Structure formats: C-alpha cells, structure tokens
Amino acid sequence: MTTLWLFIIVSSVIALFWYSRQIAEAANRHAQHQAESLQVQLLSVACIKRRFGVLKDGKLGIKSQFMFEFSSDGESAYQGKLYLENERLVKKELPAYKIAS
C-alpha cells in the first residue's frame, strides 16, 4: 500500500512539473506575439507568481503571472506583465514606451 501512495505522489509531482513547463512555454509564445505586434525586441520572460485557484470559467486551474522585458530602441528596457489561467492569456499590462523612429 505504501508503494502505491509513493507512486501516486511521485507521478503527481512529475505531472505538475510537466504542466508547469507547458504553461511557461505558452507564456513565452504570448510574449513573443506581443513583441511582434508592438514591433519591439523581446528580451526575457520570467514567472513572477503561480498558484492554484478557481478560473473565470469556474473550474480549478493554475493562475500565473509572468513578467516580460522588451526594448523598442535597443538601449532601454521596459517590463510588461502577462496574466494566464492555465495556458490561456487573460490580461496583459504594458507600460508606456519610447517608439523607435
């Protein structure tokens, strides 16, 4: 019986890690899409916060907040935020930035 519980716990940790990586890859894709649509250079993407919670559709899931840095002129860096529910982009926050001429 102990072996079964150990197997379930280890499998759950591995599955959670795997799904966490999928969410991080989705955040990277969303950040790249934002950079392309703003015509800026994407510098980095990092996870700020991740937690379990009730999503907008009423189901349980993972709510994540990612910060991404971008540059519009190659000299200055700006930070935006992406809010994800599982792999779906829910909200984005972008600062005012200098448009390269």
10-residue stretch averages of pLDDT, the chain, 101 residues long: 91 93 96 94 95 92 96 90 95 87 66
Q: How far apart are alpha carbons 57 and 36 in whole angstroms?
A: 29
What is the model's pLDDT at position 74? Answer: 82
Residue with tokens 């519980």: 5
Domain boundaries, the chain: 1-100
**CB neighbours (10 Å) of residue 8?**
10
What is the model's pLDDT at position 86? Answer: 92
What is the model's pLDDT at position 98? Answer: 82
CA distances from 65 to 31, 32, 47, 90 (A): 12, 16, 6, 10
Architecture per CATH, domain 1-100, reads as: Roll (3.10)
Biggest alpha carbon distance in the chain? Answer: 67
